[in-house]
Amino acid sequence: MAASPESKLQLVQRHIRAFPDYPKKGILFRDICPILKDPAALTAVTDLFEEHVRKNHQQVDLIVGLDARGFLFGPLLAQRLGVGFVLVRKKGKLPGTTISVSYDLEYGKAEAEIQEDAVAPGQKVLIIDDLLATGGTLYAACELLGKQQADILGCMVVIELKEMNGIDKLKSHNVFSLVQY
């Protein structure tokens, strides 16, 4: 008998570790490494994302994963859905012609980029990452995909840190999170 969505979610939650005062004092870091280490937990994450996509999106052309942890979940989901996977990377990490945007982080600025030919105008895309905190990285990815005239169906994350209010930056996009703190 297949596990219920609730039992899958409980399994995922049990595999998220908290590290107080990392990377600096006052921060409670949520670690997904135990999910990756446990095949059942990783399968549960993929199952839950797949169930969400199949229920809410009639057509998806590409999954877009954010550097670097979106690269862990995105290809698994893309394979399940039978669609392609595209990378959004930190500046200087992709070959060929790229498009980039600057964005603010909690501790400074960064740039994200995508290959110029990664997404065709009108392609229906879902963006995936491990965590939504301040929303800067997901927002930058949405801007990049907007420059490529993609149809952004939504954003998906394993963990949403609600107290960081990252969802406010993404008001014009649907955001789905498996676990909220």
Give the C-alpha separation, 54 to 129, whole Å: 18
Instruction: Measure Cα distances from 86 to 93, 105, 128, 163 in Å.
Output: 14, 22, 10, 30
Give the C-alpha separation, 18 to 56, whole Å: 31
Give the C-alpha separation, 175 to 181, whole Å: 15
Active site residues: 69, 106
Of 133, 120, 124, nearest to 170 by C-alpha is: 133
